[in-house]
Amino acid sequence: MSETVKTRGIEWPTLLMLLLCYGGWAFSTLWAAALWLPLGMVLTIIFIALHSSLTHEVLHGHPFANRRLNEALVFPCLGLLVPYQRFRDTHLAHHVDAILTDPYDDPESNYLDPAVWVRLPRPVQRLLIFNNSLLGRLIIGPLVGQIAFMRADWRAIMAGDAMVLRGWLWQIPAVVPVLIWVTWSPMPIWAYLISAYAGLSILKIRTFLEHRAHERASGRTVVIEDRGPLAWIFLNNNLHVVHHMHPKTAWYDLPGLYEGNREKYLTRNDGYRYASYRQIFRQYFWRAKDEVPHPLWPKP
């Protein structure tokens, strides 16, 4: 599945954000890490997460009209773990709203078919229930997601899917220069690996409740009216229903769209809204947001 790139002028805010991201990442791994390693790691985590958000912008056709040029801008995989081509293909498949939260067809769903759930060993069930709390999503979420992602891709490769294999092979030249840079920098490899994992943890805050089980497809996508540091790292993708309705719209235009017609979006998603990430932490840090087996799926 692919998305047609829209024709518009160069998006300078996105280019400037890319420059800030790479410059900040270089500063974090070099000077900040040399000054005080924990400071370098914290800053590196932030810029790895920001780079992932910029990668999301690129796969939706920003900042240029030329797809290859856009993808060249985010070719170095600062986060190490997720190949760009696989992220692109699975995420664009996820943008078919009719399949949102589907345990089989939505590549980004955290729900399981109840028939699959009842066959899981009890320790695995407990682990996945913990993963449905925000604390769990931060601690084990990247590991759980990476295992599921790589397991599905391995099965596709074994079934002869050349596109999936190509996506992983391209990951090698995308990761090697990053590791060479880190090896040369004052930041130890172990510290960078921890930072890469923590960068994924930050992104799990955004994806934690982006979608819910709902009878109507239009009611499954959240709005989080946050304008703080996390909204900046996520490039306003916390206004997620706006992004799903206008996937070609650049990150810096999303707040204006939402504020200009707030009631329209809240009517569309049936009031699926949170005021801030602080509210989400307060409500779901210790407890699961919902069940792991899809509540609207046929029970075994």
For residue range 109-161, list pLDDT tens digits in order. Answer: 999 999 999 999 999 999 999 999 999 999 999 999 999 999 999 999 999 99
How many contiguous H segments (helices) and E segments (strands) does the chain have? 17, 2
Residue 249 makes CB contacts below 8 A (sequence gap 6+) with 242, 243, 257
pLDDT confidence of residue 3: 40
DSSP three-state, residue 297: coil
How confident is the model at residue 4, as a pLDDT?
A: 39
In the chain, at which residue ranges do the beta strands (DSSP E only) sit?
223-224, 273-274
pTM, rounded to two decimals:
0.95
Q: Where are the alpha helices (DSSP H) in 95-140?
A: 114-117, 122-131, 134-139
Kindly give the parts of the chain with pLDDT less than 70.
1-8
With a CB cutoff of 8 Å and minimum separation 6, the contacts of 51 are: 21, 25, 74, 78, 79
Residue with tokens 């172990």: 190
Predicted pLDDT at 299:
84
- Residue 1: what pLDDT? 36
> What pLDDT does residue 195 have?
98
